[in-house]
Amino acid sequence: MLLPVIGLSRRADVAEVIGAGLVAGAAGLGHRRIAVLLDRPAATVRGWLRRFVGRAESVRAGFTALAVDVDAGTAPPLAAGSGFADAVAAVLAATAAVAAGWPGLALTVSPWRLAAAVSHGGLLAPADGGQLINTNRLWAGV
């Protein structure tokens, strides 16, 4: 089955909603408060946060590499205070690098759609779920 770029594998919510929860988690909010803000069940939000904690280092490394690969002038994001927050910052930095390289995309692609596309929908996949980052340089021919 093909997964649209707006979604993440095995998740009912679109990438932007999950991303908003991850950004709130990186800012220090707990799963119950995020659940209220996003109008989602607390157990669902808790699952997102727990799964992202387990993926944080590979997400940070992969999206930092993407940011630098797309825009060599991009400095890696500064440490944000936790592995979780560092990973969220790396996704945002990669999005900024893509937006700088292709200004028209900035209006249509959110950080979390980019994360869904680059991770093949596996941003919150189990750690042994295979490859996280798309290493194909799809932009190289543009």
C-alpha dist (Å) from residue 31 to 60, 120, 121, 133? 21, 25, 22, 26
pTM (global) more than 0.85: no
Contact between residue 21 and residue 40 where contact means Cβ atoms under 8 Å apart: yes
Q: How far apart are CA 135 and CA 118, in angstroms?
A: 8
pLDDT of 122 reads: 76
Least confident window among 29-33, 80-84, 90-94, 98-102: 98-102
DSSP assignments along 66-129, one per residue: HHHHH-TTPPPPPP-SSHHHHHHHHHHHHHHHHHHH-GGGGGT--HHHHHHHHTTT-TTS-TTS
**Of residues 72 and 53, which shows the higher confidence score?**
53
Contact between residue 70 and residue 102 where contact means Cβ atoms under 8 Å apart: no
pLDDT of 77 reads: 75
